[in-house]
């Protein structure tokens, strides 16, 4: 694997971690304990999608649209809902919220990269590459 590919892979994970952390912080700022869970999930999803869009637009020129927008959309939407549900049920520290957001971002990014590799391998083998 070349150095540039390694740097892009690291960049993908950093972007996922930043997106997860930004989503967790934004959701935590709006959703508090006691908010209805269904409403919290809808609000969290919207906030997460806005946070992902802002982060993704900033990082896309560096890493490429696919590598930032696809994991970012999943992190923003599902992370926003999950973080909002957690924040509505129990109070958590800011550090814990950021830590969980970063880990979630890493996991989603890894899943998208693995799925992309599986699809690319399948297409490449069919095309005789």
Q: Which are the contacts of 126, defined by CB distance < 8 A and separation ≥ 6?
A: none
Whether the predicted model's global pTM rises above the 0.85 cut: yes
pLDDT by residue (tens digit) across 83-100? 999 999 998 999 999 999
pLDDT by residue (tens digit) across 96-115? 999 999 999 999 999 999 99
pLDDT by residue (tens digit) across 23-78? 999 999 999 998 999 999 999 999 999 999 999 999 999 888 888 999 999 999 99
Surface-to-core class of residue 38, CB atoms within 10 Å of its CB (0-12 exposed, 13-18 middle, 19+ buried): exposed
């Amino acid at each position: 694997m070349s150095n540039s590919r390694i740097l892009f892979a690291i960049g993908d994970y950093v972007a996922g971690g930043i997106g997860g952390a930004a989503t967790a912080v934004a959701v935590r700022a709006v959703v508090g304990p006691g908010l209805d869970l269904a409403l919290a999930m809808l609000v969290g999803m919207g906030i997460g999608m806005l946070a992902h869009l802002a982060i993704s637009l900033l990082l896309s020129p560096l890493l490429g649209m696919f590598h930032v927008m696809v994991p970012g959309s999943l992190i923003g939407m599902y992370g926003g809902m999950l973080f909002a549900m957690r924040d509505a049920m129990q109070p958590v520290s800011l550090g814990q919220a950021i830590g969980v957001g970063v880990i979630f971002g890493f996991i989603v990014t890894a899943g998208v990269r693995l799925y992309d590799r599986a699809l690319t391998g399948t297409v490449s083998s069919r095309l005789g590459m």
